[in-house]
Structure 1
Amino acid sequence: MPSDLSSLLREHVVLMEELDRRRRTNLLAKYRPYTKQIEFHKAGAVYRERLFMAGNQLGKTLAGAAEAAMHLTGRYPDWWQGKRFSKPVVMIAGSESYELTRDGVQRLMVGPPMNEEDWGTGYLPKADIVDYTRRSGVSGALDSVTVRHVSGRVSTLLFKAYEQGRGKWQANTVDYVWFDEEPPEDVYLEGITRTNATGGSVTVTFTPLNGMSAVVQRYILPGEDKGALSRNVTTMTIDDAEHYSPEERQAIIDSYPPHEREARTKGVPTLGSGRIFPVSEESIRIDPFDIPKHWVQIGGLDFGWDHPFAATGCAWDRDADVFYITKVYREREATPIIHAAALKPWGAWLPWSWPHDGLQHDKGSGEQLAAQYRAQGLNLLPERATFDDGTNGVEAGLSDMLQRMQTGRFKVFSTCPQWFEEFRLYHRKDGKVVKEMDDLISASRYALMMKRFAKVKADSAAWKFSERKVI
């Protein structure tokens, strides 16, 4: 009997060791992304260029590695909604230097660089690593990895570094490029060039410590660049990192110098003195609550087509003079009938403030923009947004918003993440407001300017059966 027990114990140990080996050598099968990581992956089905801009240690590089491994192996999980390659791929992945590429990208893809016995414990399953070549001159660094694809053929992963310059990125035509950490503009453009012939994809994962650089601007402030429609940016803050407790989040935030906290915990490019609202996000963010019946409400519209159409729902506590942004809507390249259908559930009684370009006539129908939205059932105010004295200066509106933020009289519901995306990046260049990524901010400004016309929420039945007229 003792010998039988000993044999069973040995078998159990062997079984546990085998299960551990399989777990360690097939990390990809265990990948369970957070909400923001899923958003980043999903965008790949639509956009050719993607930026995952996030704070430090929030999972951006991990997401990049997991997706790269899926494309190289062709092993896509059931939940996958991102881009799929139907054949083996040639991929370039790199970072600032060969040492950083080795310790970041290579470590996550293959395993610990200094311990060859553990190669296969990264996101590339050990069973799918067919071969590799070493890079001379950098201990533990690889030059390439050959990966088995589900088709029976092989994919190729090439490791490169920005320090080589764009010239070293010119030789290959590839299907996929992954930049981990921000590349110089010339290297980034060369990466795009390498995918032109294949119609491939370019992804970038980094914390924006270089401020509003050329690469960041390419995504966030594209101006008249028509190629912007093929780009997408996903921003992940420490609040989106589901593996941290509130106490851990605060400890991490406190560990960084004040001037680096926005970039390192929220993935926000450093804007310095150019930031229009130099107040902390936490000072204006508030958890949602039911709006008291005696508070008045108003909506704000910002018309758009190439740049998004935006709308904000707002409430004003007149007694305390606190203005609240309670809900938001933002969508590009859609018609008034689509936007109106999305906004009418907010309430047919809700008065809407709108900007001067609502007076412009549509090139097709010849009808004013404002009139088109009225025709779709939105209760637009009869006149465009102005202050009490009839003026409508942008700077005056921004000054009012900032003063309210500084004195605790401007709050935004935490359920409005798109509003905070714009808030983090709203800035000036050469003293002038940069009119990019400001659609919800603008809609909020118009609503604040016209708060004198805000109304108490009407009873839906009373509104329906009363004689409805334009305010």
Structure 2
Amino acid sequence: MTDTVEYGPDPNEIRKHQKKLLSAREYNLKYRRRDFFKPSAKQRDFANADPRLTEIRLIAASQSGKSSISMAVEAQDATGNYEEWIGPTNRKFLKPPKIHRPHEYMSWIVSTSSQVQKQTMQLNLVGNVDDPNGLGTGFLALDEIVGKPIMQAGRQGVVDNITVRRATGGTGNIGFRTMEQDISAFAGATLDQFRWDEPGPIRTYLECLARLTAVPNSRACVTLTPTEGRDQLYMRYEEPAPLRKTWRMTLFDAEHLTKQQVEEIIARTPEQDRPMRIFGEPAQGSGSVYPYQEQSIIHNVDPAVFESQPWIKVGWGVDITHGGSASAFGAVLAFYDMHSDVLYIVDCIKLKGVNIPTQVQAIRQHPYGDAIVVYPRDSEQPGDAMTGDTLRDQYKRAGLVMASKYVTDDRNKSPGLEDGITHVSTRLATGKLKVAAHCRDWFEEYRSYHRKDRKVVREFCDLMDATRVLVMGIKQLRYIEMRGFASQYRQPQQKRDWDIFTGKPI
């Protein structure tokens, strides 16, 4: 027994009927939408991505036109009929790959759900198929569609795949997938491209990437508003890669909206959602761990001020890892003003995928490289199977001045995660914890540090963990001879990246 295939509207019947009813201009306005589409400057820039890139991403505000530009370009890639606003050298899919398969061009559109697919990407690409005359009113012209689209069984008006006529005389096929489908639905195909809309599971994204490996000119295209914050997919694109690139588009870049419309959208957007909805900044999940405005935390105190005060203590808090582990090594340096009980974070170091000696060298090269280092209890667990040395032992042997014991609370016990967060939160709320404005990595983590289902999301939080350790270990900080920190390390962090091989600031 075989499943019955469900088909959508017949483009030939629609064409024949509508050409009798409509004038040529009316027909073109309705069924050749792409001819009349004028992309904004930001949309045009994204559409003209370097064809050598293998992964591209557009982070955009809500209602800024990210789905429209994605589907407008997909229609051109699938058919090979490019508009003048895509430059001749950026027309990536003109020539079919030399592989055997049913169509010259094959792609997927991946949405979060069938309902979202129907209302956004599908509507933009093929039109409203629930309307008897709606097929072909998207960015795919009615005259470019070959045969009836195949529909998803049991889902009213949801397209499974559609075939188009290419400029070469061959055909292209565009399939639709959703992130709610089992991973097995993403197996087997050989694709030129897939377009991924909105945040979703990294495992499914990587499975889609595997579908591109046999096609040398293939590409992944992601468009999203980062509603899930800095999840794994978001962070993949934050890692340096020569053939991966990100574009950003705010609501103010949406040229199809008037100034009044933009103001109305801003007015009805909750204040806590505005960074995400208006500017495309990553959301903070179901609740920020530290819901305090950054301006209330930032300090611009000249380090020379600390170096002239004898009541200042200094030390590092660290979130230490096995060398080369998936998580990063995080360290924060702070001066503690005992008179005012204010802890000033003045520097931070974050390194990923490097061994313990390299991590240690990054601290040792700092003017305060021999300041005391406070650390969490799990650092005293065995870290070397051969010698039985703990992680603390390894860091101490490599050259750090490790505290004699892990940080403890007032009961002399190792504090739990929530205890540490409470102490940090109390200091932030009362102005007793300040962070230097140039600590860019610290503030990036701060913005994304959030809870989901009331639990802290333990991703992208290495400097947050180091800060928590530092606050809980404040009584272990020591007086130390001042080293001229201000003269060497006063420049903004972004201008002095660390060389992961030498540990020295660049």
TM superposition score category, shorter chain reference:
0.5 to 0.7
Shift of residue 313, structure 1, vs aligned partner: 2.7
Equivalent residue for 2:223, pick from 202, 205, 216:
205
Q: 1:402 matched to which residue of 2?
A: 425
* Residue 443, structure 1, aligned to residue 449, structure 2: no
User: Secondary structure at the residue paired with 2:347?
Assistant: strand
Q: Which residue identity is paired with 2:351?
A: E
Equivalent residue for 2:45, pick from 4, 14, 31:
31
- Give the aligned length: 388
Give the number of the structure whose residues are more often helix, by fraction: 1
Distance 2:330 2:440 in 1: 14
Equivalent residue for 1:232, pick from 220, 229, 236:
236
- Checking the alignment, whether the CA contact within 8 Å between 1:311 and 1:443 is kept in structure 2 is yes
Distance 2:73 2:249 in 1: 18
Q: 1:12 matched to which residue of 2?
A: none
Q: 1:334 to 1:100 in 2, by over 3 A?
A: same
Summarize the alignment of residues 271-350 of structure 1 with structure 2, pairs less than 5 Å apart: 271-272=286-287, 275-277=288-290, 279-286=291-298, 288=300, 290-294=302-306, 296=312, 297-304=314-321, 305-347=325-367, 348-350=369-371
Distance 1:329 1:352 in 2: 13
**Structure 1 gaps, min length 5:** 1-20, 80-84, 108-113, 121-125, 221-230, 461-471
Q: Which residue identity is paired with 1:439?
A: D
User: Secondary structure at the residue paired with 2:471?
Assistant: helix
* Residue 367, structure 1, aligned to residue 367, structure 2: no
Offset from partner CA, 1:359-388 (integer Å, 9 cap, x none): 234224543322332333333333322346
- Checking the alignment, whether the CA contact within 8 Å between 2:445 and 2:461 is kept in structure 1 is yes
Shift of residue 290, structure 1, vs aligned partner: 3.0
Offset from partner CA, 1:95-124 (integer Å, 9 cap, x none): 4233411565789xxxxxx9x99979xxxx
Distance 1:155 1:336 in 2: 55
Q: Which residue identity is paired with 2:328?
A: P
Offset from partner CA, 1:153-173 (integer Å, 9 cap, x none): 989462636499679966971
- Checking the alignment, whether the CA contact within 8 Å between 2:145 and 2:162 is kept in structure 1 is yes
Distance 1:59 1:380 in 2: 53
User: Secondary structure at the residue paired with 1:401?
Assistant: helix
Summarize the alignment of residues 249-288 of structure 1 with structure 2, pairs less than 5 Å apart: 255-258=268-271, 260-261=273-274, 263-265=276-278, 266-272=281-287, 275-277=288-290, 279-286=291-298, 288=300
Distance 2:433 2:445 in 1: 16
> Alignment RMSD, CA only?
5.7
* Residue 458, structure 1, aligned to residue 476, structure 2: no
Distance 2:264 2:430 in 1: 27
Equivalent residue for 2:372, pick from 351, 356, 362:
351
Offset from partner CA, 1:260-282 (integer Å, 9 cap, x none): 3464253215314xx432x1443
Distance 2:54 2:410 in 1: 44
Distance 1:338 1:381 in 2: 20
Summarize the alignment of residues 27-106 of structure 1 with structure 2, pairs less than 5 Å apart: 31=45, 44=55, 55-56=61-62, 90-95=106-111, 96-102=116-122
Distance 1:284 1:68 in 2: 45
Shift of residue 178, structure 1, vs aligned partner: 1.7
TM-score by length of 1: 0.59
- Checking the alignment, whether the CA contact within 8 Å between 2:125 and 2:138 is kept in structure 1 is no
Q: Which residue identity is paired with 2:421?
A: L
- Checking the alignment, whether the CA contact within 8 Å between 1:178 and 1:202 is kept in structure 2 is yes
- Checking the alignment, whether the CA contact within 8 Å between 1:308 and 1:333 is kept in structure 2 is yes
Shift of residue 441, structure 1, vs aligned partner: 0.8
User: Secondary structure at the residue paired with 1:386?
Assistant: coil
Distance 1:438 1:163 in 2: 26
Shift of residue 405, structure 1, vs aligned partner: 1.8
Q: 2:488 matched to which residue of 1?
A: none
Distance 1:70 1:344 in 2: 55
User: Secondary structure at the residue paired with 2:327?
Assistant: coil
Q: Report which of the two structures shows the higher radius of gyration computed on alpha carbons.
A: 2
Distance 2:372 2:170 in 1: 61
Distance 1:63 1:351 in 2: 53
Distance 1:43 1:341 in 2: 35
